[in-house]
Amino acid sequence: MNAPQAIQNIRAAIDAAPRNHQTVELHVQMIKYADTFRNLSGREFCDMLGISDKYGTEFNKMRKIAVRLRTADLNPDKI
């Protein structure tokens, strides 16, 4: 999947989430699409999604967690 399509999917998932679950949904989506954005900085990710740069640190954390989860046989397609 390419980055623009993944951004579109992430935005749709966040918008569909209840207001008090949008940050959680963002974290889940970061894990789901970590491979798509492996060459992107946290700031670039935030800029593409149109969210605050403060989530750049969270993006980097979720990308690291995604590696561990995939090692434990997580299937991102099931998220």
Per-residue pLDDT reduced to its tens digit, 11-60: 999 999 999 999 999 999 999 999 999 999 999 999 999 999 999 999 99
The residue behind tokens 């990710």 is 45
Q: Are 33 and 70 in contact (CB under 8 A)?
A: no
Q: For residue 56, give both structure tokens.
A: 């750049």
Q: How confident is the model at residue 63 (pLDDT cuts 50, 70, 90)?
A: very high
pTM: 0.89
Q: How many other β-carbons are positioned within 10 Å of the β-carbon of residue 78? A: 6
